[in-house]
Amino acid sequence: MIKTKAFVFDFDDTLAFTDAKVHVRNDVGRLVVSLTPQEFNEFQLHPEQVLDFSDFDKASLILNGKPTKLIELATEVFREGHSVFILTARANQAGSAIAQFLKGFGIVAKEIHCVGSADGGDIARAKRKVLLSVIENFDQVWFFDDDARNIELAKDLPLKAKKVWFTLDIQGKICYIIGMIKIEKNENFTGFFNVFAFGRFVEQVQGRVKAIALANKIAKQNEQEHFIAHNDKIMEVK
């Protein structure tokens, strides 16, 4: 039986880098600081401050965005016939510009969810709610987001099938992985590798070949189709 797969992508700093910034203003509207999406993920808002997301309503900033490495994956999986979803913290009016941006890469998203004004401003919970609805209709869901808070809430979803969750840093490198098999070099012992499964340490083994074999075995046992090697390369289970 063919497994149905959904690939859910955040937009800003996940599929595209734009010049849009979050402006922090004081209680009289004066600009305090302007933040990139990545900086905003770590920002602590003071009680007297308010957030201005007006940049994210500008279609021109979306259309002129620079694609990340993940756009290649999105293009590939769409061509393979898998469903592509966009799940962004932008407001609803951004949807058409995002669709146009994706069209430039030959991608037609099954759905574009803009949750910028949902759930009283709690973006992570709003995204979790959308993911719940997606999960109900697919065997596997791959979720890509640059904000660890969104990933943390997502990993607590009541999963019916094996799912894969990971996020990125601003350079597009995989750096935060949950629910997947991963190999890492042991920094203390040359030639040894640590194998992790679903966020937990499994075993330390000597040699890259043995580490890959163990990761492959664990992935098979858990019905995973991929694991991540020590060089952050995604490898198919054999």
- pTM for this entry: 0.64
| Max CA separation in the chain (angstroms) | 62
Last residue of a domain, one of 136, 156, 177: 177
The token pair that represents 56 in the structure block: 């994210």
Give the C-alpha separation, 123 to 151, whole Å.
Answer: 11
Question: What residues of the chain score a pLDDT lower than 50?
Answer: 1, 119-120, 159-165, 167-179
Does any domain span residue 92?
A: yes
State which residues form the domain around 207: 181-236
What pLDDT is attached to residue 59? 83
Last residue of a domain, one of 177, 195, 222: 177
The token pair that represents 33 in the structure block: 């600081």
Closest to 144 measured CA to CA, from 44, 73, 217, 40? 73
237 CB-near residues (< 8 Å, 6+ apart): 216, 219, 220, 224, 225, 226, 227
Does any domain span residue 10?
A: yes
Overall number of domains in the chain? 2
198 and 130 co-located in one domain: no
The DSSP-derived string for 41-95 is HT----TT-EEE-GGGG-HHHHHTPEE-THHHHHHHHHHTT-EEEEEESS-GGGH
The token pair that represents 191 in the structure block: 């030639």
Chain Cα centroid distance, residue 160: 20
The token pair that represents 104 in the structure block: 């430039």
188 and 109 co-located in one domain: no
Does any domain span residue 42?
A: no
62 CB-near residues (< 8 Å, 6+ apart): 11, 16, 18, 20, 94, 97, 98, 100, 101
219 and 110 co-located in one domain: no
What pLDDT is attached to residue 161? 40
What pLDDT is attached to residue 2? 54
136 and 197 co-located in one domain: no
What pLDDT is attached to residue 160? 41
69 and 140 co-located in one domain: yes
Last residue of a domain, one of 133, 161, 177: 177
Does any domain span residue 32?
A: no
